[in-house]
Structure 1
Amino acid sequence: MGNDDPSNDFDDYEKDFESAVLLIEDIKRRCDAKNIKYSDKSSKEDFDIDVRIHFPAGRDTKDIVLYDLDDIKTFHSINFEDYTLVGNYAAIVSYGSDIIEAVITAPSSTVGAYRVIRKNLGLFPQSSLNRGVVLESDSSDGIIIKLKKTSVEVRTLTQPDNLGISIEISNSGVKTNQQAIDILKKYSDSLFFAIDVQRNIYLSLVRRQQKRKYARPQEHEVPLEFPRSFYEGAPIDLFWYARSAARMPLLQFLAYYQSIEFYYPVFYNADVGRRVKSILKNPSFRLDNESDIARVVAVIKSNGKGFASEKDQLKATLKECVDLQRNLTHFTV
């Protein structure tokens, strides 16, 4: 019966609060030294801890909420002064260390995203998770990408919902928050697109307060490589939007189509260029022959209206990008 004395709980709460107060004061001192704003509404009367750090995120700030002794201890234990939040992502950047780290998820997965990501990226068993997957650039820039267990820093400063995998980009020469956003998007878009194509798993960067849906783990033998292909912002954003609309097929089709449509002029003009070149290289072609010139003009004008039809542009794009001989076998009966 002696262990049920309510005064014991009171003493524990009081000790925890007193320990927290000492750490909070030191956190405030460190924040003041770096001009980081904060608010402290902790109450000694009911031993309630309520500290909000208005943490820098480019030109804005995001609140990091600390509401118990564990939060306070963890925040106090890291060199939070060395980091800045990256845009609206669950991501941090250290300019001094030249490291960007962002939490990732698998939005369309119907099972635990953490397990799906670990399985598909080769992060099982635990020893593999601890090592991470390291991808090094083969150019002289020395950029390194690592898929790994989230650091205590990114977990503490972004406070994601129980996700433990991140993408880390180092040696990028990042100097500003906008650069951090651009670099993070550039390399994550390229790598995640390759993973989606090779392993059929849709990964994305976690945004702060983002709700997530959870893809079936699969075994894969294709090794991950450092990103070599990079994509325009508009079509890749449409592609990710389509990937996230798994339960809305019409919307998904439209987004996929629009991501392809973005490249119509590029591939159609390339097709026109080849056809014009073919005519010009023909030994029988003569500049003083009106019919030969008319053939060139007809190719350029396409359907005679001065511009190509959408159907012609789609045909040219598919011709450029799809191995019809190989892929049409999927439609044979």
Structure 2
Amino acid sequence: MTPSDAEQDDELAPELREIADRAHAAGLKVWTLRWNAHPAVAIVGEPELQIGFPAGRMPRKVQISRRDAPDWASTDFADWVFLGDYDAFLDRSSGTVVAALDHRAVGFGLGLKKIPGLAPMAEDDPDLTPREDEEPARIEFREPVRLCVEHPSVEGLSITIQRPPPRALRVACRAYPSSWGVVITGVTTERHDQALRLLQEISTSFFIDLDLSYGFAFRLKKDIRVEFASEPSEEEPSSTKMPRFPVLKHNDDAASLYLYARALVSAPLLAYLAYYQVLEFFMPKYARVAAVQKLRDVLRDPRFDHDDDIALGRVIEMVNDTDRIAGTEREQLKATVTRCLDAGALLDYLESHPRGTAAMADKKRIADIRLLNPKDTSASLVEQVADRIYDLRCRIVHGKEGGNGRGEPLRPFGRESKLLTYDLDLIRFVAQRVLITSSGPATWGR
């Protein structure tokens, strides 16, 4: 869709024009959006409205269609300030913060009754009462309940959780009537950063208390466009051949980990660790391969003298070296990747993924992990890949302050976590090579 100045748009529907005028009077930036017509298609959608609400350093742009107009017309939105990346806003006129919740709760249904004070909402509650022009049956609410807890000493300060969320939140963020919302009243600040910090601190403490006491786990819901935003993967070449009946048999556990990782499209840190577990599954096998091969070559030599103490001492040193390699995870990973990833195949992959190759050579993107640099003569490119995979794994796993000496740990939905697309593509490629190398001939039907 392409934006244009709403004030100059004569095709804007009257219902949306009224909302645009109210937004403009409140000092909000307003645009009209139109679908771009494809050259071969003559159909163009009707104009929609976009309002830019204050939201800290960047405005929150909210799109409003003609279908949404009645809800927005009945809502006082002039003093809203959206908060951070959350589906949340501060209403400066009432000193109220409202936010949508994402819940992963244990014991819903009958378990709801375990929280003292959680009571059914009255039938005439404003958040349940339909508009005058709205059919009562349009929205079906699931067990409307509310719990309000007041601060013991600060007058007017309270926190409330309720289902359904407040009507204004359903309008502003398209929150589902079946979901939960949180309301904090008595907010005295009109500044975005202070209101955001208040929302985070009060709600987090309250949610942990609820989990500890009643087994209910809530968290603030983020704007889905922000929460799962990431760079797009580069297009993978697709085979032009007809699929064949499988001829390789993969280890069930390792293959299940790989397919599990493939399904984690919205959880980059978990996906990365699942791919890493594919590699980890085969580490004990490949960590000893090189040393065992050396030992085998020595013992096969017809000149090897079993009665020579010096020769036997060298064999003992080789066995100790094997144990040392097997005891170091970084070395285990390097041995596995070196055994399963051909240097030529890696170069082909990097050449066919130029954006990813450039990104993984940029030290400003993700800190404290090995860069991929073909000109680095201190290690082969395959070894650099192994080091990068291990470094990134450590930044994910050692998720505590000062836990690994590598700077800040990676956090879910953090800035760096949204830059993992190309590393996920790389570790998936490496996991594929490890699976293939570790597979065996199939014996179906024999």
TM-score by length of 2: 0.39
What is the alpha-carbon distance in structure 2 between the residues aligned to residue 182 and residue 202 of structure 1? 20
Q: Which of residues 173, 177, 182 is equivalent to 1:158?
A: 173
- Paired amino acid for 1:138: P
Report 1:231-310 matches (<5 A).
Answer: 258=400
- CA contact under 8 A between 1:103 and 1:163: conserved in structure 2? no
Larger Cα-atom Rg: 2
Structure possessing the higher relative contact order (Cα contacts under 8 Å, 6 or more residues apart)? 1
Deviations, residues 191-250 of structure 1 (Å, cap 9, x unaligned): 011112122332100000146xxxxxxxxxxxxxxxxxxxxxxxxxxxxxxxx97x9799
Q: Which of residues 5, 12, 15 is equivalent to 1:23?
A: 15
- Paired amino acid for 1:102: A
Q: Which of residues 96, 101, 116 is equivalent to 2:98?
A: 101
Determine the structure 1 residue equivalent to 2:186: 171
- CA contact under 8 A between 2:20 and 2:49: conserved in structure 1? no
What is the alpha-carbon distance in structure 2 between the residues aligned to residue 195 and residue 255 of structure 1? 27
Whether 2:199 is the aligned partner of 1:184: answer yes
Cα drift, residue 32 of structure 1: 1.4
Count how many residue pairs are aligned between Structure 1 and Structure 2. Answer: 208
Determine the structure 2 residue equivalent to 1:62: 60
- Paired amino acid for 2:59: T
What is the alpha-carbon distance in structure 2 between the residues aligned to residue 255 and residue 126 of structure 1? 43
Aligned-pair identity (%): 18
- Paired amino acid for 1:86: L
Higher helix share: 1
Determine the structure 2 residue equivalent to 1:144: 158
Cα drift, residue 141 of structure 1: 4.4
Distance 1:97 1:71, change over 3 A: same
What is the alpha-carbon distance in structure 1 between the residues aligned to residue 146 and residue 114 of structure 2? 13
Whether 2:146 is the aligned partner of 1:132: answer yes
What is the alpha-carbon distance in structure 1 between the residues aligned to residue 148 and residue 112 of structure 2? 14
RMSD of aligned Cα (Å): 4.3
Distance 1:87 1:106, change over 3 A: same
Distance 1:58 1:117, change over 3 A: farther
Q: Which of residues 46, 49, 57 is equivalent to 1:48?
A: 46
Cα drift, residue 164 of structure 1: 2.6
Structure 1 gaps of 5+ residues are 1-17, 212-243, 262-333
- Paired amino acid for 1:188: S
What is the alpha-carbon distance in structure 1 between the residues aligned to residue 220 and residue 114 of structure 2? 16
Cα drift, residue 60 of structure 1: 1.8
Distance 1:38 1:134, change over 3 A: same
Determine the structure 2 residue equivalent to 1:316: none
Determine the structure 2 residue equivalent to 1:86: 83
Distance 1:260 1:192, change over 3 A: farther
- CA contact under 8 A between 1:55 and 1:63: conserved in structure 2? yes
Partner SS state of residue 202, structure 2: helix
- Paired amino acid for 2:51: I
Partner SS state of residue 100, structure 1: strand
Distance 1:56 1:137, change over 3 A: same
What is the alpha-carbon distance in structure 1 between the residues aligned to residue 398 and residue 104 of structure 2? 17
What is the alpha-carbon distance in structure 1 between the residues aligned to residue 397 and residue 92 of structure 2? 36
Structure 2 gaps of 5+ residues are 1-9, 36-42, 124-142, 229-268, 278-392, 404-446
Partner SS state of residue 54, structure 2: strand
Whether 2:198 is the aligned partner of 1:198: answer no
178-187 or 25-34, larger mean C-alpha shift: 25-34
- CA contact under 8 A between 2:31 and 2:51: conserved in structure 1? yes
- CA contact under 8 A between 1:118 and 1:124: conserved in structure 2? no
Distance 1:176 1:83, change over 3 A: same
- Paired amino acid for 1:207: K
- CA contact under 8 A between 1:93 and 1:180: conserved in structure 2? yes
What is the alpha-carbon distance in structure 1 between the residues aligned to residue 122 and residue 273 of structure 2? 39
What is the alpha-carbon distance in structure 2 between the residues aligned to residue 117 and residue 169 of structure 1? 24
Cα drift, residue 19 of structure 1: 12
Distance 1:70 1:196, change over 3 A: same
